[in-house]
Amino acid sequence: MRADPTNNIVLFEVVYVKGKVGAAAHEICYNRIKTSKDRDERYDMKKRIMVYGDSNTHGYNAEDGSRFDENTRWTGVCQQLLGDDYVIVEEGLNGRNTCHSFPDDPYKNGIAYIIPCVLSQLPLDMICVKLGSNDFDPLLDPDPVKIAERAAQILKIAKMANDEKYPGRPCKYVLMAPLKATEDALTGDFAEYYDRSTVELSWEAPAAYKAQAEADGFLYFDANEVAECCKKDGVHLDAANHKKLGIAMAAWIKEQME
């Protein structure tokens, strides 16, 4: 059997139903997905919302370094409120940044992983990129405007991957501003990654992200309007703020998807 890289899921289905292999199966597959009826049936599923982010999407608990449970994480709160018609796909990784790779920590480069991440989760109805907090390390020469540009570039690549697989299928793209670091970041568990100048630069991120989203035609959501980082380390959400963000995001998603 010759697998088609863009239609391999349908190809397996056709092989079992039709008993065809190779080029014959490919022809059936191609003809099937061309019809609007088959496309409509295939897309008749729950609304799938993917959030591509860092530790605040993963659910890092600043109190002990563990992970908040699914009922506490903002994505989980959001899922509960949206109900069974939606699926929130959590793609959060502690330490993920927009584009930087490090020899001792090579898997945190957000732009390097976005394509396989999107392709593994398709079809999607909304893709949210919530990255940038880890780019404010003083050693990375942080610039809010450039960080916003890189986050938007990740979203552009996500859109390209989605459009190539499902051309014409509606999908919304959201650029989410990173949370502002607080003064507590200077004395918290991650103080080595912050100084006063970078903390203050993080406060400029929402405006830069909003401008970038408008320039690129993306939707924009600012978590800072509803939540703030905890006193423990100044860079992560506590349980109460996960709840606030989840409630706000659920209402916003329903508004955008209706």
Q: Tokens at residue 142, please?
A: 């942080």
The Cα 79–Cα 169 span in angstroms is 23
The Cα 58–Cα 54 span in angstroms is 6
DSSP string for 62-112: TTTS-B--TTTSHHHHHHHHH-TTEEEEEEE-TT-BSS--BTTBTT-BHHH
More confident residue, 13 or 57: 57
Indicate whether this model's pTM tops 0.75: yes
CA 204 to chain centre: 21
Residue 44 has a pLDDT of 65
Calculate helix-pair angle for 110-121, 144-165, nearest 10 degrees: 30
Is residue 20 within 8 Å of residue 14, measured between CB atoms?
A: yes
Digit-coded pLDDT (tens) for 175-219: 999 999 999 999 999 999 999 999 999 999 999 999 999 999 999
Digit-coded pLDDT (tens) for 110-157: 999 999 999 999 999 999 999 999 999 998 989 999 999 999 999 999
β strands within the chain, DSSP E: 47-53, 86-92, 126-130, 172-177, 219-222
Residue 67 pLDDT more than 70? yes
What are the structural domains, with CATH classification, of the chain? 1-44 (no CATH), 45-257 (3.40.50.1110)
Residue 27 has a pLDDT of 38
Nearest by Cα to 48 from 8, 79, 92: 79
